[in-house]
Amino acid sequence: MVKIIKPSFEILTPINGDEILKLIEIAGRTCYKSNDLITPDSAKNFVSKIAQRGHESVIEHYNITVRFICNRGFTHELVRHRLAAYSQESTRYCNYTKDKFGSEITVIKPYELNEGTTEFEIWKNAMENAEKSYMEMIANGSKPENARGVLPIDIKTEIVITTNLREWKHIFKLRTSPAAHPSMRELMIPLMKEFQNKIPVIFDNINQE
């Protein structure tokens, strides 16, 4: 029986927005040798000014790691952002017939498909057929790296990405845009809002709902 879940994300890096701004200020003031101007509350104003001037290389001094649970269509687009480190669940080595996977495949419900509709039932039937074919191939001696060829693009996968704040800003600008894929926006918009809530100034000028 195919397991259907919704996508999700988890920020793995502990985030203290004020401390992040202080680190960026220390790095940025090195350029001007103006460290003597640092005060307990000067970081926010400093980072705001360098952002307005487009000096975004300074915000590369801090990395954040996020885990996504999503489909492979999502990850195909995500990994095109090259200034990042990625670790992804491998369909080559994961054998979904095993107990730790529930002896089933897990798929991500498409954002725009509603349960009870004809489209959803067609999609669900396709997922079940893919699972049946996968299980039969494994039962007949195929390795997971060969049986994975029948798995759908909506197969659930996990991916961990680590990248700097400047690249996160670039990712959000592209992947929250109205032109982005709906499944991408489904995760990236709430993730961006978390970044905006946790880290002052840096992501404030992105709003593409």
Token pair of 98 as six digits: 């095993």
The string of DSSP letters for 80-136 reads: T--SSEEEE--TTT--TTSGGGTTS-EEEPPTTPPTTSHHHHHHHHHHHHHHHHHHH
Distance CA 72, CA 13 (A): 23
Residues with a catalytic annotation lie at 175
- Which H or E run contains 67? strand 63-71
Task: Please list, in sequence order, all residues whose beta carbon lies within 8 angstroms of the beta carbon of residue 8, skipping any fewer than 6 positions away.
Answer: 68, 69, 187
Indicate the Cα dihedral angle 19, 21, 26, 29, nearest 10°.
-170
Whose tokens are 């959000």? That residue is 172
Q: Which of 38, 20, 21 is nearest to 29 (CA)?
A: 38
